[in-house]
Structure 1
Amino acid sequence: MTGTAFSVWPAPLRAEHPARPPRAVSVAFTGLVAALLCGVGEAITYVAVRVDSPNADVGSLTTGLAVRGVIYLMVLAVAIRMAHGARWARAVLTIGIGIVGLASLIIEPAAATLSAKEIGDLFDDLGPAAVFTGIFRTGHILAVLVAIPAMYHPTARRYFRAARPSW
Structure 2
Amino acid sequence: MTGTAFPVWTKPLRVYPAGPPRAVRVAFVALVVALVAGVAETIARAFLSPAADPASVATGLGLRMAIYLLVLAVAVRMTRGDRWARLFLTVGIGVFGLLPLLIEPLAAAMSANELRDLVRDAAPALLLLAAFRAVHVIAVLIAIPALYTRPARRYFHER
Give the structure-2-normalised TM-score. 0.90
Structure 2 unpaired stretches of 5+: none
Alignment partner, residue 9 of structure 1: 7
Matched, 1:30 2:26: no
Does the 8 Å CA contact 1:17/1:159 hold for their aligned counterparts? no
Task: Determine the C-alpha separation between the residues in 1 that align with 2:122 and 2:40.
Answer: 18
- DSSP 3-state at the match of 2:104: helix
Deviations 1:93-122 (A, max 9, x none): 000111111111100000111122444542
Task: Determine the C-alpha separation between the residues in 2 that align with 1:123 and 1:27.
Answer: 32
Shift of 1:16: 3.7
5 Å-filtered alignment, 1:104-143, equals 104-123=100-119, 125-143=121-139
Task: Determine the C-alpha separation between the residues in 1 that align with 2:86 and 2:70.
Answer: 14
Deviations 1:70-100 (A, max 9, x none): 0000000000000111010000000011111
CA RMSD of aligned residues (A): 1.7
Alignment partner, residue 82 of structure 2: 86
Alignment partner, residue 16 of structure 2: 18
Count of equivalent residues: 154
Alignment partner, residue 43 of structure 2: 44
Alignment partner, residue 99 of structure 1: 95
Q: Percent identity?
A: 49
Task: Determine the C-alpha separation between the residues in 2 that align with 1:16 and 1:123.
Answer: 51
Task: Determine the C-alpha separation between the residues in 1 that align with 2:141 and 2:12.
Answer: 31
Give the structure-1-normalised TM-score. 0.85
Task: Determine the C-alpha separation between the residues in 2 that align with 1:78 and 1:120.
Answer: 39
Task: Determine the C-alpha separation between the residues in 2 that align with 1:35 and 1:81.
Answer: 17
Does the 8 Å CA contact 1:27/1:147 hold for their aligned counterparts? yes
4+ residue runs of structure 1 moved beyond 3 angstroms? 117-121
Deviations 1:21-51 (A, max 9, x none): 111110000000000000011011101102x
Task: Determine the C-alpha separation between the residues in 2 that align with 1:17 and 1:88.
Answer: 20
Task: Determine the C-alpha separation between the residues in 2 that align with 1:159 and 1:118.
Answer: 46
Alignment partner, residue 68 of structure 1: 64
